[in-house]
Structure 1
Amino acid sequence: MSAVTDTFVRTLHTADLTPGLRGAIRRLLDGAFAGHADGDFTDADWDHTLGGLHTLVLEGDEPIGHSAVVQRRLLHGGRALRAGYVEAVAVRADRRRRGHGATVMAAAERIIRGSYDLGALGSSDEATGFYAARGWQVWAGRTSALTPGGILPTPDVDGWIHVLPVAAIDLGGELTCDWRDGDVW
């Protein structure tokens, strides 16, 4: 654990979250995304958050900041790339603008650079500048999803998918995500 002012930062796998901490994270995310322009935080969004590494900014036992990195397969240039996909980046409304978002993203980026071919995330309008300032790049090519019915274009997310290349990658090529329920990206 490392101290950040009056808070602590922890990174834990989903398997290591106690039921109480898991519930507190869900409440944080529900509150952070309530009334959001892209919609509330759904059960499918929660499902996408689980199964990877969670970085938490804690005040005592209470999470006030969160990010998760989960493994996904992204197809690009004839290869299946191991991607660290960032989910559920949030800071409690009354604790924003204090560097907590940067703290959880720095941990996510360290995990990605050490374990994956690239990082990826879907951004909201409000967060694009935040991610760009951290070196994330907008995917310039087409996007698609590998669905049970085959590869289907996802033009509605073109311009919203950001990547953190770990190795050289053609940002203008096609990027295809693996299938999942809810929002595929």
Structure 2
Amino acid sequence: MPQTRTVATADLTTAERSAIRELLDLAFLGNFDDHDFEHALGGLHVLVLERGEPIAHAAVVQRRFLHADRSWRGGYVEGVAVHPGRRGQGHAATVMAEAERIVDQGYDLGALSASHAGRGLYLQRGWLPWQGPTCVLAPGGLTRTEEDDDSTFVRVVAGGAELRLTGTLACDWRDGDVW
């Protein structure tokens, strides 16, 4: 019977990190690079384990967002994946429910970048598509990220009434995909 575990990156063994990376590589059909994996580290990992091996994963990492003339502490959801042979059994919902609890209890807002295939899951769970322009606070200043406008989703948490979905949302800089 599958078990759910939430663990900080710092508490993962080398073997567990490797197993998570293998799952992500498999689930994303080899389209998950070193930057993508780095983005999923440093926060909390939600795992569904079967016989000690991960079959589903989501991570929540802290990021900063600029919106409505303030800085927001965001819980950014990364690396949501289910083993291809275990899809359709509710494992994505399991890891997302715990990721959402973490976001709701610890952050000003939740955010994620959805693949085309993942959009339905997030919409069904109440995540909202961002309707305004997206940007990144890059080394050269505020830079528009038009290619991310349609894939950016947010989760409004208590006190998030100031969040205007049609306004500009800027994320902090990082190597690789910024959203």
TM-score (normalised: structure 1): 0.94
CA deviation after TM superposition for structure 1 residue 126, in Å: 1.0
Give the match for residue 90 of structure 2. Answer: 99
Q: CA RMSD in A?
A: 0.6
Taking only the aligned residue pairs, the percentage that are identical comes to: 57
Confirm whether residue 19 of structure 1 aligns to residue 14 of structure 2: yes
Structure 2 counterparts to residues 1-185 of structure 1, below 5 A: 6-34=1-29, 40-166=31-157, 167-168=160-161, 169-185=163-179
Stretch deviating more after TM superposition (87-96 or 164-173): 164-173
Distance 1:18 1:121 in 2: 26
- Deviating beyond 3 angstroms after TM superposition, the runs of 4 or more aligned structure 1 residues are none
Distance 2:120 2:22 in 1: 26
Aligned length: 176
Distance 1:127 1:9 in 2: 21
CA deviation after TM superposition for structure 1 residue 61, in Å: 1.1
Unpaired runs of at least 5, structure 2: none
Partner SS, residue 182 of structure 1: coil
Distance 1:75 1:141 in 2: 13
Aligned amino acid, residue 178 of structure 1: D
Distance 1:138 1:108 in 2: 18
TM-score (normalised: structure 2): 0.97
Distance 1:47 1:14 in 2: 11
CA deviation after TM superposition for structure 1 residue 60, in Å: 1.6
